[in-house]
């Protein structure tokens, strides 16, 4: 019998893996400069929480998370969660497009196991970089049985948000991500996971009609922007 859950961390790059030329450099750094193995050296306590597996799927700035990469990420997570030995997934991701990736996965993941996205607003080399604690809290959430069936969760700054409601509100502050109308659904306090609500009523994951397991690319959709009587195809 396993004494700890098994969590797979899938890394995609972003600020959480970023590096600057000084410890006070919080803008203008290089996103995705560090590997997931380098990041986890700053979170040694994870070994006490879970059996950790890692995959460096990409290592890019999150503005470079294309639709092709979204499909690849969705496929990787679905395949990972089919493994009976894996209890949940944590994704490290840049914050510029974190909310978009989170909601996409919220609709296409076909498992009730926990899927958690974490990121950071400060690069890994900065003073008080929050990435290590966000990774730790994300793994704790993924290990918690209460996280099952809640869809994709976003864990940042000690708070737990639903991918459906979370949004980025500021470019540089660590409390940037908020759920302005609906609120957060839980929090991490002293290494423990607390939820405020039992259920998320909107359809997600196993209940949606969206499935990326059998496709390799997303359909192209034309958008017509109309302004003052003029139309422009994009």
According to DSSP, residue 30 is labeled B
Distance CA 40, CA 44 (A): 7
Q: Beta-carbon neighbour count of residue 148 at 10 Å?
A: 13
Are 44 and 29 contacting, i.e. CB atoms less than 8 angstroms apart? no
Which secondary structure element, helix H or strand E, spans residue 141, and what is its range?
Answer: helix 131-143
CB of 153 closer than 8 Å to CB of 115: yes
Report helix, strand or coil for 189.
strand
What CA–CA distance (Å, rounded) separates 40 from 75? 24
Helix (H, G, I), strand (E, B) or coil at 36: helix
The secondary element (H helix, E strand) that includes residue 102 is: helix 98-108
Classify residue 219 by its DSSP letter.
P
Three-state DSSP at 215 gives: coil
Catalytic residue among 15, 92, 95, 125: 15
Q: Annotated catalytic, 15?
A: yes
- Euclidean distance between the first and final Cα of the chain, in Å? 55
DSSP designation for 19: B
Catalytic residues: 15
């Amino acid at each position: 019998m396993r004494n700890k859950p098994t969590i797979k961390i899938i890394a995609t790059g972003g600020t959480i893996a970023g590096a600057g030329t000084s410890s006070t450099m919080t803008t203008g750094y290089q996103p995705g400069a560090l590997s997931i193995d380098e990041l986890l050296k700053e979170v040694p306590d994870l070994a006490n929480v879970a059996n950790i597996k890692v995959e460096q799927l990409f290592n890019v700035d999150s503005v470079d998370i294309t639709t092709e990469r979204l499909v690849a990420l969705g496929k990787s997570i679905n395949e990972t969660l089919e493994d009976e030995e894996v209890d949940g997934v944590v994704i490290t991701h840049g914050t510029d497009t974190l909310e978009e990736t989170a909601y996409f996965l919220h609709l296409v993941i076909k498992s009730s196991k926990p899927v958690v996205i974490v990121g950071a607003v400060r690069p890994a080399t900065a003073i008080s970089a929050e990435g290590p604690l966000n990774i730790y809290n994300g793994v704790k959430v993924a290990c918690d049985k209460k996280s099952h069936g809640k869809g994709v969760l976003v864990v940042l700054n000690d708070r737990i948000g639903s991918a459906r409601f979370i949004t980025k509100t500021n470019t540089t502050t660590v409390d940037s991500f908020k759920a302005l109308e609906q609120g957060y659904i839980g929090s991490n306090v002293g290494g423990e996971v607390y939820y405020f609500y039992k259920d998320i009523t909107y359809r997600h994951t196993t209940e949606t009609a969206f499935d990326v397991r059998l496709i390799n690319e997303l359909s192209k959709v034309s958008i017509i922007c109309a302004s003052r009587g003029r139309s422009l195809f994009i």
